[in-house]
Structure 1
């Protein structure tokens, strides 16, 4: 069966490799780009290029930041309480908590979670940087906000074990979040309750 031109097939294949994009959606996206004004398609290409060339991880917390700012906006904000650090798996989890609007501390992004079957072990996480922050003596509380599932709980346990002798209290989000859910999809009221009802790990 004949396909599209090689160029269109490559575009469909590229879209199909994105998470959550199936074959039909990839095909629809490719056709949309073929029909839309050239400026719109090229603006998308420019945005993709810019994000790859300009976006970096914050030197302190590993959230996303622009290349010209070594620290993210949260770490640069003097109104934030730098003595309370909330540990999350990914930048999107940080953004979900920020939407709740109740947490005024800072964050640490692990850039993953323990998932041995997917090749994610402790060495792939930003654990050394987190340990250094905690052992610097400036942290008064560490909040574990990993996702409430098997991998997230295992990651939180690993962090707690590594920092057990630090003297820093380690709390975790209250179980207002259903087990097996994902922070990114929780509503802001649920996240606010989870932050305010956190308890010792």
Structure 2
């Protein structure tokens, strides 16, 4: 169905779906048609879930995670190590790390990375909150778990400079060969990072 022959309600649905990451206009049209076809099984429950999420889910005022409580379940969990804070770009990064069960400390969501081209400046990110948390005597280590992009690394350097005066260790994730990775299939950046991150065998 062409959007030109669709009614305003469908056009609005398509336009909103097209704003989601990974969905262009064509994918949004397909998604809209699928939702309309599966109205009872999919569209009504989705509308209900969206309304429920909009009503109940909030950003944690401590770390920036999304949850139904503030502070979030991770910040409130007594078993988490309060001396280590892992700095990530987005809430999605927290989910990835939690899925891997790789980290048992607390998190801090920056809300993005510095990007002069996109006009993202330090004031646009949750850096002030991080500096405040890092100044707490309980905190001993800040792990910079930012993506290995130019903007991610620029942000990591900026944060290292800002955190330098505080009595915390600043660490970053090792970069390099993934588990099960074959050298022949890795890109140059990964291989270079692997050599720079090498350690005693």
Q: Please indicate the TM-score interval, normalised by the length of the shorter structure.
A: 0.7 to 0.9
Shift in Å, 1:198: 11
Task: State how 1:48-127 maps to structure 2 within 5 Å.
Answer: 48-66=50-68, 69-127=69-127
Measured against aligned partners, the alpha-carbon deviations of 1:121-148 in whole angstroms (never above 9, x if no partner) come to 1111111111011112111111000101
Measured against aligned partners, the alpha-carbon deviations of 1:96-123 in whole angstroms (never above 9, x if no partner) come to 1112212111111111111122221111
Give the TM-score normalised by the residue count of structure 1. Answer: 0.82
CA RMSD of aligned residues (A): 2.2
Between the two proteins, the alignment pairs up a number of residues equal to: 180
Task: State how 1:5-84 maps to structure 2 within 5 Å.
Answer: 5-38=7-40, 40-66=42-68, 69-84=69-84
- 8 Å CA contact retained: 1:87, 1:108: yes
Where relative contact order (Cα < 8 A, 6+ residues apart) is larger, the structure is 1
Instruction: Give the structure 1 partner of residue 187 of structure 2.
Output: none
Shift in Å, 1:53: 2.3
Structure showing greater radius of gyration is: 2
- 8 Å CA contact retained: 1:171, 1:198: no
Runs of 4+ in 1 over 2 A off after TM superposition: 37-40
User: 1: distance between equivalents of 2:5 and 2:142?
Assistant: 54
Local SS of the residue matching 2:152:
helix
Structure 2, unpaired ranges of 5+: 179-193
Give the TM-score normalised by the residue count of structure 2. Answer: 0.82
